[in-house]
Structure 1
Amino acid sequence: MSQTTLTTLSPDWPCQVKAPGSHDWERTAARWLRDLLPARYAAYSPLNRHHILLARHAQLQLQHEMRAVRVALQTSRAELPTLGVAEAVIENTIRMYAIELEQLGRLARGVRLVTEALLATGGAAHRRR
């Protein structure tokens, strides 16, 4: 990827994915999207053959993960002491959840950008079989 291509991409564009329109960019997008899903999804042919379905499912997966992390974050102070977890561990856990929530948000923005690029470059039609 050229330096000029790098400067035109959003900072949220995943570094593992080549720029839209470049050679083999959809393959790198599909690989990155698959890596966001649990391994068992690799066996589902619709997700492998239709990159737009893969992108949609990755977005849904991230939304659910974010919801789970928010619940864990919001309930940590109330529930963890009842499980016998030390205060220092609770504080570290809360920081961990906050960092994870930020990371998931970044990934979700990247998935949205990749989805938009797939739609703009005909990625949805390209893989219909």
Structure 2
Amino acid sequence: MPQTASATLSPDWPCQVKAPGSHDWERTAIRWLRDLLPARYAAYSSFNRHPVLLTRHARIQLQHEIRAVRVALETCRAELPSLGVAESVIENTIRMYAVELDQLARLARGVRLITDALLVNGAPRRR
């Protein structure tokens, strides 16, 4: 049974994306997903015609970003002092990375929800 606009959305559902089943929700989902990718990916029309490809690539992109932030977080205490970075800056950097990890995890949950909604609603193919 397809989701409808009246369905209760998860708190992780991106606020920029209309509810699944509502008019034009796929377009808002595609726009939000494209914003997660580097700008050069907008030139690839396959992502726009096949939203499931876009969700897949956004998921992969976020996985790599999460790994990069984790590595930066795990190594900053060992590497930053030798680069002349002050302890207070290192502490702020650690907090920044922790906030970024939380944000990336939230975005990844949003991508997962959109993927599920696209699959439930028939993953539209645009021409």
Distance 1:128 1:28 in 2: 14
Distance 2:59 2:6 in 1: 25
Task: Identify the residue that residue 67 of structure 1 maps to in structure 2.
Answer: 67
Deviations 1:67-93 (A, max 9, x none): 000000000000000100000000000
* TM-score calculated relative to the size of structure 1: 0.92
Task: Identify the residue that residue 21 of structure 1 maps to in structure 2.
Answer: 21
Task: Identify the residue that residue 77 of structure 1 maps to in structure 2.
Answer: 77
Deviations 1:1-34 (A, max 9, x none): xxx837x100000000000000000000000000
Post-superposition shift, 1:116?
0.2
Task: Identify the residue that residue 127 of structure 1 maps to in structure 2.
Answer: 125
> Deviation above 2 Å: which 4+ runs of structure 1?
none
Post-superposition shift, 1:54?
0.3
Segments of structure 1 that go 5 or more residues without pairing to the other structure are none
Distance 2:74 2:35 in 1: 28
Q: Aligned ranges for residues 30-109 of structure 1 at < 5 Å?
A: 30-109=30-109
Distance 1:128 1:20 in 2: 17
Deviations 1:19-63 (A, max 9, x none): 000000000000000000000000011112110000000000000
One-letter code of the match for 1:127?
Answer: R
Alpha-carbon RMSD across the aligned residues, in angstroms, is: 1.3
Distance 2:6 2:126 in 1: 28
Segments of structure 2 that go 5 or more residues without pairing to the other structure are none
One-letter code of the match for 1:25?
Answer: W
